[in-house]
Structure 1
Amino acid sequence: MALIAQPFRHPDSGIYYLRRRVPGDLRHIIGKTEIRRSLNTRNHQQAKAAFAVAYAESERLFNDARQGLYLEHHQPEVPAKPLPASYLPARIEASIKLSEALARYVQSISMSGRSEYVSRRHAVDYSRAVKRYMTDMGDMPIAAIRPSHIHAFAANLIQPENANVKPLATSSTRLLLARLSSVLAFSVDSGLIEANPVTASRIHKRLGSGKPKRRLDDNRGYTWSELVTLFSHAEFQRLRTAEGRPGNAVFWIPLIAAYTGGRREELAQLYVEDIHQHEGNSWFIRVIDDRPDKSVKTDSSRREIPVHPDLIALGLLSLVQGREPGTRVFPQLVKVSDGFAGIISKSWRPITQRCGVYQAGRNPLHAFRHSFKTLAREHGIPKEVSDWITGHASGHIGDSYGINPLSRMALEIRKLPSIAKAAGLLPSV
């Protein structure tokens, strides 16, 4: 029994593709063994609709090839009818330049189903990477880009020939090359070029590991004593009533992060209605990208986070009670290029330095996410529950079935020790 053709989902990117083998008798005409086209979406329903169109186009391609209507460089005498650009062979569109490939890539981003803000930010970041290549190497035809060009580009990023240009760290160079590679991979998927020159260059192997090897004494999160030091410090406690920008957000966001493991941007973008009561009168923080100015990092990031009783006792609800729905919890935070929370990070780092807990290589705000996971392990919160709370995908297919019971999460969060009492923010019983 023949299998029904289905969209192929890329295991890393999650983007769906049409993948179809070229019949053996047509491979010498088409010049490929497989047709591969990006469907430009991670949504399965959207992919099924786009797949039907792409599959029909591939059928027309095969029919044209059988009828001698396929345009090929070794058959110039055959009059060919125009073919859809979506399946023209690479040789026909080899002359397009990198700037045009970038424009097509940016246009495809709007089909991904992401929020407007995420799509816009994605376009800005990836455009910046490609434009840096064009500044250094020129707006080349994409078919002319060779691995040697990629190596020369990487070398100039790390050691610029122009003394006035600031060199990039290896990690920043890797990120920029990865974004350039994504645009060129899209060009491969679109049939514009045969191979990705960034991948072919093996430049990432030459640059070494993207992350340093983990040492046994390497702790990316705060220890218990460091948490107590931070939250008991007089400078931190005065921030509770701070006004202006960023104001009291520098008091609340680190505290909420310590008790939830939430990401800085997830907390900085909250709306009043995102802090709400659920079954059993327990309070939860909803993380969701339901507005143009809200985003999530991954699909598993959309979640409900139980609120620890300490946060209620500290007055978290005073931030939302009596406030109009549709307003943000921290209205003083303004969204700029690095999101709402960039100013929080800039304000928090010097506080950690003055408290004596700053550690080079440790992200002062993201460290709370690591601390939460450590405390959860130490105090018996099961891994699957801490993953639900922090929005970490387990990678096990069985975990995608069913729902995460909120009552269980609300019960387990109480196992966390009281940082606020240890730091003197709440009276000890």
Structure 2
Amino acid sequence: MRFSAPSHLRKQGVAFYFRMAVPERLRPALGKVEVKKSLSTVYLREAKVRVVHVAAVVQSFLGYLDAAGPVAAMTPPEQLQAYLEGEMNKVSAAWKGQESPQAGYLPSMLPKVQTGLRDHAQVQPAKPCTVTPVEPQPVPTAGTKLSEAVEKYIADKAAKWRVSSKKDIIPDLHDFVTMVGDIQAVDLSRDHMRTYHRIMHHLPKRRTIDPRWKKKPLAKLLNMTIQEADKLGATSLGNAFTNIRSFINWLEDEGLVSKAATLNKVLEVQRKSVTPEREAFTDDELRALFSPENFKPKEFRSSWQFWLPLLGLYTGARLEELCQLHLSDIRQDEASGVWYLDINDLADKKTKTSAGNRQVPVHQDLVRLGLLDRVEALRGKRHTRLFPTLEVRESAGKRGGAAGQWFTRYRRQCGVGGGRGEVSGKVFHSFRHSLVTRCKMLGVVRRMCQELVGHEKGAYADVTGGYEGRYPVKVLYEEVVSRLDYVSIVDADRLVGCVWVSLP
């Protein structure tokens, strides 16, 4: 009984597999219609060698099973499958240099699997042989395919993910299955993880957007020479690997893999980050951003283009925290009369950490510029949000997507930070750095600054810190916010009475 090994080489995704149909007469005994084995490689030349090794083992096994005839039915199919899988695993171990692949040794070993086959072998005219019984081994179940596991994982976890997280996690999971092949989860090995790791380090960034890559299948990208500067950056790789590690951990929790930690160790980023650290704006850069030549309210198309830079300057709040503000989040402290922004994660709003839920006093300049008047005007028009025209972008899952892109264009126009196509550490978040730096220069108590911007306790996370309450709004206003002087940065007189006080 002969099989043509090369014809059993198949490609699934970017990986190669051995696949051989089981003859119909043997299917009842083996309980399978096909034998399939990952060759643990994405390279054709390597796959052509490995498929011959696997084919030799499977050929011998099926040949002996065929010769056993009706006696083969005395062995449970699951036990035969487990035995064959074990023999194929010995071959795959040889690819790692652990032992050499052999062919033709199965017939002498198979009688150990079941007494009936051993007896059948002994009643043949050939010389009787003595076989040492083997303790029965636990038989692994067929398991769940990776694609099925991914869908279960998404169904189990998606409700807890932010919209912005879903847009990255789900494609990363599907890419993982494509790169390692839709194998059974129980078969997932470190070799599969190495394959995924190697492919990810070769792929270009923005491959679904950049015209150079977006129409090219994965297999073609793997055969292309891609410049290092065009490949996925350390941050992107780190985020993708984090998503896959979480999935592998879930597989272990579900009993689909045995040791997630062993698999996850493979996923280390082997690329240095080229993303610059975010930096504070200098006073000269702030003056450029709010100069009469650049900051022209009449040329803005939306209210948030006027208000967001000002709010960022005076509060140090994160962009998304400002974009999602409700009118009801601008409140007055009953005891002191101080107005503040109540930054919270109620309703559809999100904060980065629990410390992000805080009360930020409104600077006197913002009141003078008409922030409170805007709140009343929008309430009269039955609006509920401070910036009604900002919608959640499905692609980003945030309200601040459009605002962030606009600000990048705006600060470039002002000559601040890197130009078009250049990576820059000067972004909207730099307002936050600037405020923290200014507080330091003013000698503000560090804990007050932390509470103002919503940072975790850090050095104050001790036992005593756990008993401390937060500073009252009045104290934060008097000791921090009222001391922030931007007279040389913003010409408030010029901006008072702006049209964007009342327009949505």
Q: Taking structure 1 as the reference length, what is the TM-score of the superposition?
A: 0.68
Tell me how large the CA RMSD over aligned residues is: 3.0
Cα distance change of structure 1 residues 197 and 100 upon mapping to structure 2, 3 Å threshold: farther
Which of 388, 399, 405 lines up with 1:331 in the alignment? 388
After superposition, the C-alpha distances for 1:309-346 in whole angstroms (9 at most, x for unaligned) are 11111221132113337611101111113211111111
Quick one: distance in 1 between partners of 2:311 and 2:167? 30
Q: What does residue range 20-419 of structure 1 map to in structure 2 within 5 Å?
A: 95-109=143-157, 118-160=161-203, 162-163=220-221, 167-196=231-260, 200-204=264-268, 206-208=269-271, 220-238=279-297, 242-243=300-301, 247-278=302-333, 279-292=335-348, 294-324=349-379, 327-336=384-393, 337-338=395-396, 339-359=398-418, 360-395=423-458, 396-397=461-462, 398-404=464-470, 405-419=472-486
> Contact 1:228/1:419 (CA < 8 Å) preserved in 2?
no
After superposition, the C-alpha distances for 1:99-155 in whole angstroms (9 at most, x for unaligned) are 33333333333675xxxxx54443443212101212333223223222332332233
Q: Which structure: larger Rg?
A: 2
Cα distance change of structure 1 residues 295 and 200 upon mapping to structure 2, 3 Å threshold: closer
Deviation at 1:370, TM superposition (A): 1.2
Cα distance change of structure 1 residues 110 and 173 upon mapping to structure 2, 3 Å threshold: closer
Cα distance change of structure 1 residues 381 and 224 upon mapping to structure 2, 3 Å threshold: same
Quick one: distance in 2 between partners of 1:407 and 1:270? 21
> Contact 1:287/1:304 (CA < 8 Å) preserved in 2?
yes
Deviation at 1:208, TM superposition (A): 4.5
Quick one: distance in 1 between partners of 2:304 and 2:484? 23
Letter matched to residue 197 of structure 2: A
Deviation at 1:250, TM superposition (A): 1.7
Cα distance change of structure 1 residues 111 and 342 upon mapping to structure 2, 3 Å threshold: closer
| Residue-pair matches, total | 325
Deviation at 1:197, TM superposition (A): 6.1
Quick one: distance in 2 between partners of 1:399 and 1:352? 39
For the residue of structure 2 that corresponds to 1:323, the secondary structure is helix
Cα distance change of structure 1 residues 235 and 94 upon mapping to structure 2, 3 Å threshold: farther
Quick one: distance in 2 between partners of 1:416 and 1:104? 54
Deviation at 1:198, TM superposition (A): 7.5
Quick one: distance in 2 between partners of 1:93 and 1:321? 65
For the residue of structure 2 that corresponds to 1:234, the secondary structure is coil
Quick one: distance in 2 between partners of 1:91 and 1:353? 64
Quick one: distance in 2 between partners of 1:400 and 1:331? 38
For the residue of structure 1 that corresponds to 2:451, the secondary structure is helix
Quick one: distance in 2 between partners of 1:385 and 1:373? 11
> Contact 1:146/1:197 (CA < 8 Å) preserved in 2?
no
Gaps of 5+ in 2: 1-81, 83-137, 204-218, 495-504
Gaps of 5+ in 1: 1-72, 74-89, 113-117
Cα distance change of structure 1 residues 198 and 423 upon mapping to structure 2, 3 Å threshold: farther
Quick one: distance in 1 between partners of 2:355 and 2:231? 36
Letter matched to residue 401 of structure 1: Y
Cα distance change of structure 1 residues 92 and 271 upon mapping to structure 2, 3 Å threshold: farther
> Contact 2:188/2:257 (CA < 8 Å) preserved in 1?
no
Cα distance change of structure 1 residues 280 and 140 upon mapping to structure 2, 3 Å threshold: same
